[in-house]
Amino acid sequence: MRRTKRISRGKENGRTRKERRTFTLSRESVALLNDLRAARRGSRRGSVSAVLDDLLRALDKQRKRESIDRAITNYYDGLSDQAQAEEKEWGEFSLAQFLDGAG
């Protein structure tokens, strides 16, 4: 059984615990990660691992946002015609109130 080494960055610098892993990537993927790292500016330039971590976090955030969007769409698609009409009326009322207060 292979063990992984945990790297603790501690709370003092605001980072989360990290875990060392080894991956095999295509040359194109490695080149892309290197290009993305080189394109960073300032103190966030960091390592290729930091670039990969940021990409994965962004992907996770996007997936969660899409899941919420699907849930909202499913909710409204599942409403009866009467409930949809009521939602539309409330939306129009709210928009009118907002526009009246903006002027």
62-81 pLDDT, tens per residue? 999 999 999 999 999 999 99
So what's the pLDDT on residue 7? 55
16-69 pLDDT, tens per residue? 788 999 999 999 999 999 999 999 877 666 899 999 999 999 999 999 999 999
Residue 6, pLDDT above cutoff 50: yes
The domain limits of the chain are 26-96
Residue 95, pLDDT above cutoff 80: yes
Cα(89)–Cα(52) distance, integer angstroms: 46
CB 20 within 8 A of CB 33: no
So what's the pLDDT on residue 101? 78
What's phi and psi for 7, nearest 5 deg? -110, 120
Estimate to the nearest angstrom the gap between the alpha carbon of 18 and the chain centroid: 19
Confidence band of 96 (pLDDT split at 50, 70, 90): very high
| Predicted TM-score (pTM) above 0.75 | no
So what's the pLDDT on residue 11? 47
